[in-house]
Amino acid sequence: MKVKILNYNILHGFHQTVAPFLFEKERLEKAKKIIAAENPDILVLTEAAYGGDNLFQIFVDYKKEFNFKYGFFGKWGNYEWGNMILSKRPLIAEIFQFGERTGIKSRVRLGKKSLEIIVIHPSAESNFSEEVKDLEKELEKVKGSAIVSGDLNSISKRDSYDFKRLIKGFKAITNNPKLVIKRLKNQKIISTLKKFGFYDTLKESEVTSTIPTSRYRVGATDIRIDYIFASREIKTIDSGVIKNELTEEASDHYPIFSVIEI
């Protein structure tokens, strides 16, 4: 059975990132067109802010906006933050502790088969030690076909980077670019996934940056930090990073997809 998965960091739930957190409807409308055109079976959203109860009394109904029958919001913290998984097929899901945040572990029914999907988004300021411990606990429980998807805030050894150029680029957005790059080069989460037999589904010919889009680009800061990893039982049919006029404007990240066969 073929399944299309799309992973998308939607930048603070289509709201501005500073008070009064104004809703940017035009970004949401562009994202809706992107998702409709791609027509994924499963949609993973990181930074799905306002997807559940929060102190700001703002709510985004992601199931309704993106036209999915099934969905689960994995809240973390006492504010608006969280991840979201949406599916055309029935799913069961729950949150698990993931460092100072939470992740989602879910199972989607696909006829007589099922697919486990773990959604994670570690903090860019973490050293990932606690996240790895929590992730290992969940991976040890995995049985059968599984996907780990999200914004990993890590760059891969598969990708080629000019680190001097990156450090120069990041000077435009941070006072300590060397520390930022050092954190991005942290391989703990990616190496843990590989240890458990998961592989990066993005084909070598499709490797490109997933952040920033042109709307949010400052300096030479292009990196790939969004991933879909699959267990060894799964075959990847197609994959890619979606770059077009709509994705340049809808978020600071580009969406990524994988078509898999289980």
CA distances from 83 to 94, 224, 228, 256 (A): 11, 19, 15, 16
Q: What per-residue confidence (pLDDT) applies to 19?
A: 86
Q: Which domain holds residue 6?
A: 2-261
pLDDT band, residue 234 (cuts 50/70/90)? very high
pLDDT tens digits for range 6-33: 999 999 999 999 988 999 999 999 999 9
Q: Is 83 helix (H, G, I), strand (E, B) or coil?
A: strand
Q: What per-residue confidence (pLDDT) applies to 157?
A: 95
Number of structural domains in the chain = 1
Tell me the DSSP string of the chain: -EEEEEEEE-HHHHB-SSTT--B-HHHHHHHHHHHHHH--SEEEEES-TTSS--TT-----HHHHHT-SEEEEEE-SSSS-EEEEEESS-EEEEEEEETTEEEEEEEEEETTEEEEEEEE---TT--SHHHHHHHHHHHTT--SSEEEEEE-S---TTS---HHHHHHHHTTT-S-HHHHHHHHT--HHHHHHHHTT-EE-S-GGG----B--GGG--SS--B--EEEEE-TTPEEEEEEE--STTHHHH-SS--EEEEEE-
Task: Check residues 78 and 216 and name the one with the higher pLDDT.
Answer: 216
**Entry pTM:** 0.97
CATH number at residue 100: 3.60.10.10
pLDDT band, residue 219 (cuts 50/70/90)? confident
Nearest partner of 85 among 259, 102, 33, 206, judged by Cα? 102
Q: How far apart are CA 153 and CA 171, in angstroms?
A: 18
Across residues 169-195, what is the average pLDDT? 96
Across residues 73-100, what is the average pLDDT? 97
pLDDT tens digits for range 91-114: 999 999 999 999 999 999 998 899
